[in-house]
Amino acid sequence: MAGRVDIVEVGPRDGLQNEKGAIDTPSKLRLIEQLTQAGLRRIEATAFVSPKWVPQMADHDAVMRGIPKRPDVFYSALVPNEKGAQAAIQAGAQALAVFASASETFARRNTNCTIAESIQRFVPVLALADAAGLPVRGYVSCATDCPYEGEIAPDAVLTIARLLRQIGCNEIAVADTLGRGTPARVRAMLQTVLSDVPAHSIACHFHDTGGVALENVDVALDLGVRIFDSAAGGLGGCPYAPGAAGNLRTGLLVQHLTGRGFDLGLDLDRLAVAEDFARQLQTSANAIYR
């Protein structure tokens, strides 16, 4: 299979946000630089969220300002609202991401508001991004399962995807937040979403809890999706999703896609260095916390 596949490296944000031990800013910047040197061109660097709720992202401003910007690399930031978007743009973010949920209960637990209220919070974010000429990704969490509601209906995912597109998100990332999605259920969800959202606007974010993330990648590839999230070293897990394990490991995804005939243009030796360092950060953070 030939053609282009884009990998969105989420390790510095989604990969590190759940670590309880402190990770210093220079180490985060070093990881981002290593990932850049490996050839990754879309890196989710940090999240402009309240340190009260996500302490690991408290240095978001220093991280975003500390990245040596390159014209061919997009360093993005997750933002929860207008205030976060303003700060991210001022700090030099080259793309923004907002996060909604296909589960009403998860939305209330994760963002302390309803799904409808969360969408309304994003309207000024999209306005700011448009004025700054920045692309915005919209996450749909719990796209297959919710830790509180169980299985999520595909129509619920489509509903949120439509709302995010209506307010201006140019990319929709459907996230198997718990990693429980089976290939059959992922296919059903994606087919439903793709009935109204073009494949080039869809990204898939798989956690590997059940060990079938690569099978789910294949399902998405077969349906025309060409954007996938992964995290160096398989770091990650959602702090508000009990049972969520690590993200799909970047090196594993790269190996799989290369085997399917995609030329990703990455330096595998440098990627291995970045993954080793990511795992060292996790080990260090866990040791400090204990």
Render pLDDT for 17-58 as a digit per residue (tens, 0 to 9). Answer: 988 888 999 999 999 999 999 999 999 999 999 998 899 999
Q: What number of residues does the chain have?
A: 290
Domains along the sequence of the chain with CATH = 6-289 (3.20.20.70)
Q: Are 42 and 74 in contact (CB under 8 A)?
A: yes
Render pLDDT for 149-168 as a digit per residue (tens, 0 to 9). Answer: 999 999 999 999 999 999 99
Query: What value does the mean pLDDT of the chain take?
Result: 93
Grade residue 1 by pLDDT with cuts at 50, 70 and 90.
low
- Kindly list the catalytic residues: 238
Residue 243 clears pLDDT 60, i.e. is over it: no
**pLDDT at residue 18 in the model:** 82
Residue 225 clears pLDDT 50, i.e. is over it: yes
Residue 175 clears pLDDT 60, i.e. is over it: yes
